[in-house]
Structure 1
């Protein structure tokens, strides 16, 4: 199933884009995007946490001229939202990372490329030279290769480094185990039938053999699970001394991603990070860890304006962004929302996801009585239990 721009425009919510993506992708591929660790309580909690808060509007406010404009670490953005780093985007849609980066650039939003991308650092930089490009880095066992990735990102003029610290190994993602998800997909009777029923995705995949672009590891008949890939390359011994070393080597803005404890947020700022990303890896690592939004207020209090805070996890509505800002975030990141758009419609699908967020935020800000992002404060939210 392939969707025209007109069909994409009929999607009125991120949930609608999710359904379109589900129809286009094989089950194993869709579940890799959609799933989380173990019982998926943290995955569900990320979205449910937003339901614990009401927005409280102020009335008789002139909202005839509204602006969603924001600044991410010194650069202008059309909205306080960015495309979070997501691995294997080019497996869900051919040239996925390039298409997502192009959509972000044309929409005026930052795009963060994952270490585990299909397209390499250089490929995305060549295709999207003018976008606000960030690079996300994991700790690798091979520190020379890790240093090489840093140099490559700097040489390709990625502006911000997003250092992810919550992946010493992968969480137990049971959907992927049950589906036998590998790169490339291991053929079974079920998977072959499933792929044959989704010719749009299958033709795309056949034109672009899967690889981990930043590791020059094109698959040649071997089936590699993401867990095997992480176990072979990533370093579970990394600590704050290693974070300090990266801070010293990277000359641009640094974001520490994967923070849930206020003391860790304070440590990241102490080491010189300009921002922290409050994130539980989309519920894909430690199940039963707190939803990102639940962890946000304590972290905001702990760093008290000394660094920017990006909320990552469960953001599906424009109202979610406003609630996060009211609770202390300076901006939000979303991964699945844009992957569903990408999977459904390529660049046009990502732009549709951006437009859905824009329309929802603009409408909510008018009704909330806040003509600009700076006007959103803690006074605009209340816990549901307090009503």
Structure 2
């Protein structure tokens, strides 16, 4: 029998450890976030539906996005044992330079609508963390402003080739003059995808005030205060910003772009070039033969063609075919540091995060982006230690199995030319 005794006050006091109350609401929110999904929940509470859904949503039935995320959930890790992993090195080399972590911030459009600190917060956080930042053609901060926010870090520029080619060429020249070291030529956007959430929300640039938007924002007055008391939105390229998002995207994109446009851009751009939006092996091989520096396997976050290939599923075959000739990168669906580790293990040289970055931004501005990077970094380090690898270079396909839910029922040779 256990001997009972009256509680002793001194022993009870030893158990009482009260956490100091944090009076800064932003810090308190961000400290409570342990995952990117936590940041997403905070972002949803603090952002009007139209702006949040622009980030959170995808095209049509959003199957491409859900499948991409499911692909990362359907992995099995295979750890080693009895290895010293007291320290791990997350540094990697990509596109001629170093990154402190195996991920960078992907290009996102209309970013200051999500939270007014916008690309400056993203670029500053990336620079502080030692990772690359990529500015979108449809970004809401200029090339030069991003350079000021991240003067010593790695800045990349994502290009849409528009029907008015001189606009695109001018952007390329400005990015080169500002010291951006890599151009991301996006090739999966001949037209805008069917962003149904945006249509249902009446999402437009700039936001249009209606009874519905007033009702939705009554509980989020801080967002409107920020929006109305900060400088007017400025785009990296567009001089006219009226209309729906789809109308803006269709004005900025050109369904006639082809390999001749790629050749022309390469004449203008003096540094490394990556082709973003590759979705099959055949195109990857052709681009490798043309001597591009990198390809990004991406279905645009599920925001263009719904039911497009899942980049993580496509990764092993592409790496086998072209991995010795170009650097293969991946985006879409990455919400955890374990997703990053799995991608690197399956052959990706680097990864990009878009929604995770915007969730952090909406949750807490620059500090929110810092917190997002911190969360992913902690998850990467912990996953590497549990796999018992000490560096990015040690990650191999043997560490990961891609479990599958769907059978490919195409007859042998289907889809090949």
When normalised by structure 1's length, the TM-score is 0.95
Residue among 116, 133, 148 paired with 1:126: 148
Tell me whether 1:273 sits opposite 2:292 in the alignment. Answer: yes
Q: Secondary structure at the match of 2:276?
A: strand
Q: Secondary structure at the match of 1:136?
A: strand
Deviation at 1:71, TM superposition (A): 1.3
Aligned to 2:181: 159
Aligned to 2:373: 354
Q: Secondary structure at the match of 1:328?
A: coil
Larger gyration radius, structure 1 or structure 2 = 2
Deviation at 1:271, TM superposition (A): 2.0
Tell me whether 1:47 sits opposite 2:66 in the alignment. Answer: no
Pair 357,177 (structure 1): closer, same or farther in 2 beyond 3 Å: same
Tell me whether 1:31 sits opposite 2:50 in the alignment. Answer: no
Deviation at 1:51, TM superposition (A): 2.1
Contact 2:112 2:233 in 1 (8 A): no
Cα deviations across residues 282-327 of structure 1 (Å, max 9, x unaligned)?
0000001111111111211120321111110101111111111121
Cα distance in 1, alignment partners of residues 391 and 56 from structure 2: 33
Unaligned runs of 5+ in 1: none
Aligned to 2:13: none
Aligned to 2:334: 315
Aligned to 2:323: 304
- How many residue pairs are counted as aligned between the two chains? 382
Aligned to 1:99: 121
Unaligned runs of 5+ in 2: 1-23, 406-417
Aligned to 2:169: 147
Pair 385,310 (structure 1): closer, same or farther in 2 beyond 3 Å: closer
Cα distance in 2, alignment partners of residues 301 and 140 from structure 1: 33
Residue among 330, 333, 353 paired with 2:352: 333
Aligned to 1:256: 275
Residue among 77, 80, 84 paired with 1:58: 80
Deviation at 1:211, TM superposition (A): 3.5
Aligned to 2:400: 381
Tell me whether 1:284 sits opposite 2:303 in the alignment. Answer: yes
When normalised by structure 2's length, the TM-score is 0.89
Cα distance in 1, alignment partners of residues 28 and 124 from structure 2: 20
Tell me whether 1:181 sits opposite 2:203 in the alignment. Answer: yes
Aligned to 1:20: 42
Q: Secondary structure at the match of 2:215?
A: helix
Contact 2:198 2:245 in 1 (8 A): no
Deviation at 1:350, TM superposition (A): 0.5
Q: Secondary structure at the match of 1:333?
A: strand
RMSD of aligned Cα (Å)? 1.5
Cα distance in 2, alignment partners of residues 50 and 372 from structure 1: 21
Answer with 315-324 or 206-215: which moved more.
Answer: 206-215
Tell me whether 1:169 sits opposite 2:191 in the alignment. Answer: yes
Cα distance in 1, alignment partners of residues 287 and 399 from structure 2: 29
Cα deviations across residues 221-265 of structure 1 (Å, max 9, x unaligned)?
xx4112111222321100112112212221111110001101111
Answer with 207-216 or 278-287: which moved more.
Answer: 207-216
The correspondence of residues 193-232 of structure 1 with structure 2, limited to 5 A, is 193-208=215-230, 210-215=232-237, 217=239, 219=241, 223-232=242-251
Residue among 45, 62, 68 paired with 2:90: 68
Cα distance in 2, alignment partners of residues 85 and 347 from structure 1: 16
The correspondence of residues 229-240 of structure 1 with structure 2, limited to 5 A, is 229-240=248-259
Cα deviations across residues 332-357 of structure 1 (Å, max 9, x unaligned)?
10100010001111111001000001
Deviation at 1:116, TM superposition (A): 0.3
